[in-house]
Amino acid sequence: MNGALEARLRERRGAGAKLLVPYVTGGYAGWERAVEAAAAAGADAIEIGIPFSDPVMDGPVIQRASTAALEQGATPASVLEQARGLDSGVPHAVMTYYNLCHRQGHERFAAALADAGVSGAILPDLPFVEAGPWLEVAAAAGVEAVLLAAPTTPEHRLASLCEASRGFVYAIGLLGVTGERSSLASTATELAARCVALTDRPVLTGVGIGSPSHAVEACAVADGVVIGSAVVRTLMSAGPEAVGELVAAYRTALDRG
DSSP states along 3-40: THHHHHHHHHHHTTPPEEEEEEETTSTTHHHHHHHHHH
Separation CA 194–CA 197 (nearest Å):
5
Phi first, then psi: give them for residue 123, nearest 5 degrees: -120, 85
pLDDT by position in tens, the chain (length 257): 468 999 999 999 999 999 999 999 999 999 999 999 999 999 999 999 999 988 877 788 999 999 999 999 999 999 999 999 998 999 999 999 999 999 999 999 999 999 999 999 999 999 999 999 999 999 999 999 999 999 999 999 999 999 999 999 999 976 555 545 656 778 889 999 999 999 999 999 998 888 999 999 999 999 999 999 999 999 999 999 999 999 999 999 999 99
Whole-Å CA distances, 5 to 31, 49, 75, 109, 165: 20, 16, 24, 18, 12
Task: Specify whether the CB–CB gap between 178 and 62 falls below 8 A.
Answer: yes
User: What is the reported pTM?
Assistant: 0.95
Annotated active-site residue in 44, 47, 217, 223: 47
Is 47 among the residues known to form the active site? yes
Separation CA 243–CA 248 (nearest Å):
8
Angle made by CA atoms 95, 148, 31, in degrees to the nearest 5: 20
Separation CA 169–CA 108 (nearest Å):
25
Whole-Å CA distances, 14 to 11, 18, 159, 201: 5, 10, 23, 12
Is 58 among the residues known to form the active site? yes
User: What's the pLDDT score for residue 120?
Assistant: 98
Domains and CATH numbers, the chain: 4-256 (3.20.20.70)
Annotated active-site residue in 44, 58, 144, 217: 58
For 144-250, list the strands marked E by DSSP: 144-149, 169-172, 203-206, 224-227
User: What's the pLDDT score for residue 182?
Assistant: 58
- The 3-state DSSP class for residue 191 equals helix
User: What's the pLDDT score for residue 64?
Assistant: 95
User: What's the pLDDT score for residue 175?
Assistant: 58
Nearest to 221 by CA among 186, 189, 188: 189
User: What's the pLDDT score for residue 180?
Assistant: 56
Separation CA 13–CA 15 (nearest Å):
5
Task: Specify whether the CB–CB gap between 44 and 6 falls below 8 A.
Answer: no
